[in-house]
Amino acid sequence: MRPVTFKNATLSARMGAGDEWPPMRQPNVVVVGRSNVGKTSLINHLVERSKFLPTGKTPGRTRALFVIELPEFQLIDLPGYGFAKVARGLRESWKQLIDDYFQQQAEQIALVIVLLDCRITTADDRMVIDWLLSLRLPIQLVLTKVDKLGRSLRQQSSVAVTKLFRDVESVPLLYTIKEGACRDLLRRRIAEALDTYRNCPTVEK
Ligand SMILES: Nc1nc2c(ncn2[C@@H]2O[C@H](COP(=O)(O)OP(=O)(O)OP(=O)(O)O)[C@@H](O)[C@H]2O)c(=O)[nH]1
Ligand SMILES: [Mg+2]
């Protein structure tokens, strides 16, 4: 497996709906999930800069698509879904932005990291996962905020999610921004996905 660097991240673009896409020359790893599930926090944790992108206590914090440059790949942070209190117009423009991204950059995507709250999954999670499966993108499930659960409940949550989303064929990683061991596992998974992406002869790139 080729080594992958997760330090020295820089922000290269902040995209809103209708903006023209910058050239994406590196494989993309994109983080998807419900609002407030911990997408931006996980990205900050992965790149070891706790204040890199702003996070929020209330849903709807990330309102654009952020492209983060690393030497071997680009990390993508998206607005979250499933948050009813965001004005309808804004929700529609996020949906447009996310649809555009997945349609126009699909060939660049090496891995979609789908975050699920370890305490509850929703119909929106199921809908988004079904949509990603229909696009035939590689998916890694990650259960977030597991520091809120004791050891045995963490395992129960993992078993339940594996069953519920068995069609995804991804063993969920248990994640918390309060521990480093889960970060090592996710970094390894990203490195594997980047290797597969580079070596896959069947996909036109
Ligand atoms: N206890 C705990 N809290 C977390 C963890 N990860 C994120 N949080 C908290 O969850 C809240 C939401 O985090 P964000 O990273 O902004 O979530 P997001 O998914 O990017 O949300 P949107 O941008 O609104 O879609 C913040 O208050 C974080 O501090 C975790 O592993 N454990
Ligand atoms: Mg966010």
Pairing of strands 139-144, 173-174: parallel
Tell me the per-residue pLDDT of 120-178, one tens digit each, with 9 for 90 and over: 999 999 999 999 999 999 999 999 999 999 999 999 999 999 999 999 999 999 999 99
Partner residues linked to 29 by β-bridges: 75, 111
Tell me the per-residue pLDDT of 55-108, one tens digit each, with 9 for 90 and over: 999 888 999 999 999 999 999 999 999 887 777 888 888 889 999 999 999 999
Pocket test for ligand 1, best of 14, 31, 39, 41 (most atoms within 8 A of CB): 41
Ligand 1 midpoint to CA 199 (Å): 34
Sign, CA dihedral 123-128-131-133, equals negative
Secondary element (H or E) of residue 60 = none
User: What is the value of pTM for the model shown?
Assistant: 0.96
pLDDT at 204 over 60: no
- Structural domains of the chain, with CATH: 10-199 (3.40.50.300)
